[in-house]
């Protein structure tokens, strides 16, 4: 991809907020959303789209309203480096906690600068200085102690010093000299996506380069389509979206995954071809990697991957059978490898069971139940192994034999 220096323009920073449970991430985002997003638009309904922009002195800041550390790293693992700056929220009355450290590690791995928001300073017992001292052990050293990390003491609940936090984000953004070329075809990443009954696949995407327009043919991960509607977080229709703008789009043939990359193509035909090609390739990769575990391949996979547990999903017709089967499976142990019942419930094998199997690599065991037609199709497509039994001991024996490499 060639860069045209002359066409580069400054863009808004993209910020992810992370921190320990209950330290105030959502409260901070809620405060920003209320005061900075709908400002001057009394009655304007702010809808949740997983990302939105706040404004200070006419400058925009894009906040990703998603993650949780796992989602953050999952997206990075898929090549979607969307975050420029991490805001680490630490409650002043609780100090550094395990997920604070986790967040620091995720931010370090991503190479993003960290701004610390020491929150809840309005509370009795708040000790912001102690938070600053604790964080020095993690190389987050405030300027007053000779370091370079920006700390802002805030109350997300009362809105104290929030403008100062935004100012600091913009200051950090200036250092990063964030630029993008809006003249290119749009490209970026999926922040979140879901299936809407009326509108079909609805995705929040972040435009990272170029400009995305209504009607643009796009390939998004393994999905494709033409941008049918495009809205901002206020639900306003947009004709185009420039770099660092989060938008909600419709018009794709299927639901993409968070972290999928999107690219505008020359025409719909090539978007479709690219989408189908990618889907085919993804399937082949799964097949070639042998990452789909079946009872038939279980023993070899166990050896190859040095598995500690064999994931299994149990569905049965009545609760008593669910418990008996899950209980017996959990007792199986073959050379230190045990069965992990990732999900066990009453009822037919449904779409959600198959998705879970896909995500966890589990084998599905049905006792006196069958899959729904949709689940059956999806399991075939995803090559999920489903086994059906009406004698509990047969199920136990098959799993045990498969783990020993003795399946008939």
Chain residues that interact with ligand GTP, rule: CB under 6 A: 19, 21-27, 119-120, 122-123, 155-157
DSSP state of 142: B
Q: Which is nearer to Mg ion, 17 or 341 (CB)?
A: 17
Which residues are within 8 A (CB) of 113 and not within 5 positions of it... i.e. 6 or more apart? 85, 86, 172, 175, 176
Nearer to ligand GTP, 27 or 134 (CB): 27
Q: What is the CA radius of gyration of the chain?
A: 25
Q: How far is Cα 127 from Cα 333, in angstroms, rounded to an integer?
A: 50
Q: Which residue has the tokens 């220096």?
A: 5
Count of residues interacting with Na ion (CB under 5 A)? 1
What's the first-to-final CA gap in the chain, in angstroms?
54
Q: What secondary structure letter does DSSP report for 295?
A: T
E strand segments, 309-371: 309-316, 333-334, 337-346, 363-367
Interface segment toward Mg ion; rule CB under 5 A; list 19-27, 225-233, 272-280, 386-394: 19-27
Nearer to Na ion, 94 or 181 (CB): 94
Count the alpha carbons within 13 Å of 188 in the hemisphere toward its beta carbon.
32
Kindly indicate which of the ranges 20-28, 101-109, 120-128, 246-254 contains the residues binding Na ion, using the contact rule CB under 5 A. 20-28
The angle formed by the CA atoms of residues 324, 327 and 328, to the nearest 5 degrees, is: 85
Residue 25 CB, shortest distance to Mg ion, in Å, is 5
Of ligand GTP, Na ion, Mg ion, none, which one does residue 203 interact with (CB within 5 to 8 Å by kind)? Answer: none
Whichever of 21 and 171 has its CB closer to ligand GTP, that residue is 21
Which segment (14-22, 60-68, 265-273, 333-341) binds Na ion by CB under 5 A? 14-22
State the residue for tokens 């393994």: 222
The minimum distance between CB 71 and Mg ion, in angstroms, equals 13
**Residue nearer to ligand GTP on the CB measure, 157 or 330:** 157
Q: Given the complex with ligand GTP, which of 29 and 238 has the nearer CB atom?
A: 29
Per partner kind, with CB cut-offs from 5 to 8 A, the member of Mg ion, ligand GTP, Na ion, none near residue 155 is ligand GTP
Distance CA 171, CA 13 (A): 10
Residue 91 or 329: which CB sits closer to Na ion? 91
Taking the complex as a whole, the smallest distance from the CB of residue 306 to Na ion amounts, in Å, to 37
Q: How far is CA 241 from CA 132, 202, 305, in A?
A: 39, 16, 44
Q: CA 7 to CA 11: how far, in whole Å?
A: 12
Q: Choose the one of Na ion, Mg ion, ligand GTP, none that binds residue 27, judging by a C-beta under 5 to 8 angstroms depending on kind.
A: ligand GTP
Contact present, 315 and 395 (Cβ < 8 Å): no
Q: Which is nearer to Mg ion, 67 or 256 (CB)?
A: 67
Q: How far is the CB of 131 from ligand GTP (least distance, A)?
A: 13
Whole-number Cα distances in Å, 307 to 151, 220, 337: 43, 33, 7
**With binding defined as CB under 5 A, does residue 99 bind Mg ion?**
no
Residue whose CB is nearest to Mg ion in the complex, by number:
26
The neighbour count for residue 231, using CB atoms within 10 Å, is 18
Helices marked H in 157-294 — which ranges?
162-176, 268-289
Least Å distance, CB 28 to ligand GTP, is 7
Tell me which of 26, 130, 368, 400 binds Mg ion, using CB under 5 A.
Answer: 26
Instruction: By CB under 5 A, tell whether 296 contacts Na ion.
Output: no
d(CA 168, CA 187): 28
CB 244 → ligand GTP: shortest distance, Å?
A: 24
Using CB under 5 A as the binding rule, whether residue 22 contacts Na ion is answered as yes
- Contacted by 11, from Na ion, Mg ion, ligand GTP, none: CB < 5 to 8 Å by type: none
Q: Please report, as ranges, the residues that interact with Mg ion according to CB under 5 A.
A: 25-26
Q: Please report, as ranges, the residues that interact with Na ion according to CB under 5 A.
A: 22
């Amino acid at each position: 991809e060639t860069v045209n220096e002359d066409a580069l323009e400054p863009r808004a920073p993209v910020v992810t907020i992370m921190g320990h449970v209950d330290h105030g991430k959502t409260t901070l985002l809620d405060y920003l959303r209320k005061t900075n997003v709908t400002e001057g638009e009394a009655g304007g309904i702010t809808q949740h789209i997983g990302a939105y922009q706040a404004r200070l002195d006419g400058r925009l800041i894009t906040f990703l309203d998603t993650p949780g550390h796992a989602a953050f790293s999952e997206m990075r693992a898929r090549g979607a480096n969307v975050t420029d700056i991490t805001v680490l929220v630490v409650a002043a009355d609780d100090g550094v906690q395990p997920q604070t450290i986790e967040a620091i590690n995720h931010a370090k791995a991503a190479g993003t600068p960290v701004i610390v928001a020491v929150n809840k300073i309005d509370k009795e017992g708040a000790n912001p200085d102690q938070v600053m001292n604790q964080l020095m052990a993690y190389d987050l050293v405030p300027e007053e102690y000779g370091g370079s990390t920006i700390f802002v003491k805030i109350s997300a609940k009362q809105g104290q010093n929030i403008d100062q936090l935004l100012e600091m984000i913009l200051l950090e953004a200036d250092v990063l000299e964030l630029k993008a070329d809006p003249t290119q075809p749009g490209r970026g990443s999926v922040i979140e996506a879901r299936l809407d009954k009326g509108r079909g696949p609805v995705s929040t995407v972040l435009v990272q380069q170029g400009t995305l327009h209504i009607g643009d043919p796009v390939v998004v991960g393994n999905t494709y389509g033409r941008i049918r509607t495009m809205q901002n977080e206020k639900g306003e229709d947009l004709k185009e979206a420039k770099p660092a703008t989060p938008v909600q789009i419709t018009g794709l043939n299927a639901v993409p995954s968070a972290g999928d990359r999107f690219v505008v193509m020359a025409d719909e035909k090539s978007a479709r071809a690219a989408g189908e090609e990618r889907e085919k390739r993804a399937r082949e990769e799964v097949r070639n990697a042998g990452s789909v575990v079946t009872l038939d391949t279980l023993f070899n996979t166990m050896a190859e991957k040095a598995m500690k547990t064999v994931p299994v999903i149990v569905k049965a017709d009545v609760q008593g059978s669910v418990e008996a089967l899950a209980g017996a499976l959990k007792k199986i142990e073959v050379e230190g490898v045990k069965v992990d019942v990732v999900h066990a419930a009453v009822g037919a094998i449904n779409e959600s069971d198959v998705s879970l199997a896909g995500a966890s690599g589990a084998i599905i065991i049905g006792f006196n139940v069958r899959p729904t037609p949709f689940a059956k199709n999806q399991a075939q497509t995803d090559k999920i192994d489903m086994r059906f039994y009406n004698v509990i001991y047969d199920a136990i024996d098959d799993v045990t034999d498969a783990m020993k490499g003795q399946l008939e």
